[in-house]
Structure 1
């Protein structure tokens, strides 16, 4: 493509606004934005200087004729707009989760293949600078052959966060969709993309959440927590998704003779005592990344058998987009790769609907909770 790619955004919240800024930074032209509420989409379009605003996605596709569509709505609302865009030949950038079910995600992936369009799946925290640094070190043999990975996080989220899409399976809610997708992408980017086996357990330890009107932006939902939770007029919604999970996986790695074991442990509603972290263990050492997505300092356990912080290499630091917020930086990085690919430039492999559909099918399997062996009657 010789001209500047034209981008149409679906969604007006935190993700939609973030995607718009990311694509502009990547050199694309954001020609329109679509949302559910006229007043909201008009306000966002005016503030971001986006020329077209609307509430009818199909009409927007016809009016804007985009080369790329960016899907930034809740996961349960992705099916129809993605299908319509692909059938018009648009390339698709989609935030996670890709869909509300593995079957729907697989159908979207296969549709994209049939129409020969490019896709990007924004499980994008693999692009934090520290994860990129860890990937380089592991590939260079700094820890020998990788043998084990540990991903631990506890968010202590407020139970009173207003009821919304994140509480509903049909809308793409749940911690697997909104945390596991990122950590799985991080681990596969460092160790290897081939997932051999998984097993897991999930738990909905929330129950209910207050229903509050006027929440349009996921990033500001905490400000809508009711002051009086005992108010008898307050309505409550029932959660039907997991807020905690434990997953075990085995990954094939070109860097190791045997499959790599991975533990993913996340508690959405419980407090942390020590730091959240991601650790890559190998036959000759280990790499510790501070933070639930490993975006903090990197420490290496090497031949001297002590932990030591390793500074970020200048060339990796130079690739970090100069924007505030780790989420936004990662969107910018992926959008840059995607736009370059659409233009026909050579790029490193990035997550696509292939990964998104597999992740969604894996989530469906984990949610079945069918991995237990009853030992209650053992002698």
Structure 2
């Protein structure tokens, strides 16, 4: 008898293939893959030795009888497939964002809870080794009481990346959905999971992008930037979502007597001058991590008022999946804990649709952009 967990994957691109590899690494069987374009999904399924491929998600649920579904499509395409999978009784692993709006994300969380299925939400850069090291240091009291966190990143994304889901709010695009979800997950993993308050400002610095056919993989979209952007026959799509954001938050922490202040500053199109970074400040010290998602190295500011680089502890290194690529390794980490939970084995706690629905509600609040106080009349 084959006791392997059966997984059906929605999405044929970088995430769909990455999720498939992660589940296979945990001994699961990828029984099918569903995509929008028949020729593409057939080709990817054959390349990955997946026995079933198709474009009809509901039919695939019936045909494949999965225990788990993995949702690896853009966020605007998540709602119906996840809802159908929950009704079918499947456990659900979903990439971020959970949906394109807080209302539907909350609905999916409540449906999953009522059905009794397990869910995982892949804002998974909290598993970066240096982030886990920072968490250990804070837990041990190395920085005293945490008081402030600073997250600063500027990506200098190409303005002429072909128009697609990332340019559209209704498709799950925007930097809040695709950067802030990771950043708030990282900070809360270190400081505390309860967000008490937030305020935010967003901007669309882009405006428009060229429409180009043939882009199927998010990771290779740069290869499709038109060589002649002045070609009069070129068509353009209008962006309707943010490419930069600034968010202030207050987070409750069991390590602090007062709420911790957090600054999230991100510019998707703007260049960095110094290295992107995260800093955790405390009453006795501080932790500085280079890289927008905590790639490292990590520096510690100690009682001698000097910064020194720290190596990652062996227990953290040994617990990391042996996978190249930060994104892929973090998927493997989360899938590992999710599968353990489903099998009834001991597991590390992980983020679920509870966090996915909360984050989407936070994003809705930030996007209202209604936090300003007009002081023009005072001048």
TM tier relative to shorter chain: over 0.9
SS at match of 2:327: helix
Match of 1:136 in 2: 136
Deviating 4+ runs (over 2 angstroms): none
Q: What are the superposed Cα offsets for residues 43-101 of structure 1, whole Å, 9 maximum, x if unpaired?
A: 11111111111111011100111010000001010011001100011000000010010
Counterpart Cα distance in 2 of 1:284 and 1:66: 51
Counterpart Cα distance in 2 of 1:255 and 1:3: 43
Deviating more after overlay: 153-162 vs 27-36: 27-36
Q: What are the superposed Cα offsets for residues 170-192 of structure 1, whole Å, 9 maximum, x if unpaired?
A: 00000000000000000000000
1:378 is displaced (CA, Å) by 1.1
1:3 is displaced (CA, Å) by 2.7
1:207 is displaced (CA, Å) by 0.3
Using structure 1 for the length normalisation, give the TM-score.
0.99
Counterpart Cα distance in 2 of 1:30 and 1:288: 40
Match of 1:13 in 2: 13
Counterpart Cα distance in 1 of 2:284 and 2:31: 51
> Within 5 A, what are the aligned runs for 1:270-349?
270-349=270-349
Match of 1:42 in 2: 42
Counterpart Cα distance in 1 of 2:4 and 2:304: 52
Match of 1:101 in 2: 101
> Within 5 A, what are the aligned runs for 1:16-31?
16-31=16-31
Number of equivalences: 378
Stretches of structure 2 lacking an aligned partner (at least 5 in a row) = none
Match of 1:60 in 2: 60
Q: What are the superposed Cα offsets for residues 274-310 of structure 1, whole Å, 9 maximum, x if unpaired?
A: 0000010001000011100112111100111100000
> Within 5 A, what are the aligned runs for 1:159-198?
159-198=159-198
Backbone CA RMSD of aligned residues: 0.8
Match of 2:151 in 1: 151
Q: What are the superposed Cα offsets for residues 182-206 of structure 1, whole Å, 9 maximum, x if unpaired?
A: 0000000000000000000000010
1:321 is displaced (CA, Å) by 1.4
Match of 1:357 in 2: 357
> Within 5 A, what are the aligned runs for 1:78-89?
78-89=78-89
1:21 is displaced (CA, Å) by 0.4
Counterpart Cα distance in 2 of 1:147 and 1:3: 49
1:251 is displaced (CA, Å) by 0.3
